[in-house]
Structure 1
Amino acid sequence: MAAVRNPSAKRTMISIPTEIITDEILPKLPVNSLARFKCVSKSFNTLISSPEFINIHLQQSLSSSTNRLLILAEENGSDLYSLDIDSPDYDTTVINIPLPHTLDYWLDNGVVSIVGSVNGLLCVGILRYIDGPDEFKQVVINPSTRVFREVPYIDIPILGNAIRVSFGFGYDDINDDYKVVRVVENAIQYDPYQGDELYNREVMVYSLNDNTWKLVEDVHRPIYSLRVRHNGVLMKNHLLHSIFWCLDMYYIYCFDVQSDKWVDEVPLMDLFTDPMADFIEDNEHERVHVVNLGVLDGCLCITVTRAMSNLSDVVWMMKEYGVKESWIKLFEISRCSPCCCKPCCYYFDGPYGFRQGSKQEVLVRRPLKIAGLFWFNIGSEGYGKTEEISGIPVFDQACFFTGSLVPIPGSKLIISPAD
Structure 2
Amino acid sequence: MSTPTATRLYAADANVTVLSNTPFVTDWVRRYFGSWWNAFEVPASSVCAGPLVTAGIDDQMYARLLTLVTNCPHGDVTYAEARLLLARDSTGTITGVSPEQGLAYRSVQLGGLVTIAGRTPEALALAAARIAREMIRAALLRDGWTLLHASAVVSDDQVLLAVGSKGAGKTTTALLLASRGAQLLANDRVFVKVVGSEVRALPWPAAAAVGLGLLDALGLYDVVRERLQAGERLHPTQHQDVTDALLASRREPLWEPGGKRERKVQVFPDQFSTWFGMELATGGRAAALLFPRIDPSALPAVVDGNRTLGEDDFIGSATEDRYPDHFGLAPGINGGGDDMARAAVADRLAALPHHQVVLGHDVEANADFLAKLAGVQKHGIGTGNLA
Q: TM-score, normalised by structure 1?
A: 0.24
Query: Which one has a larger percent helix, Structure 1 or Structure 2?
Result: 2
Q: TM-score, normalised by structure 2?
A: 0.25
Mark the structure with the bigger radius of gyration. Answer: 1
Query: Which one has a larger percent strand, Structure 1 or Structure 2?
Result: 1
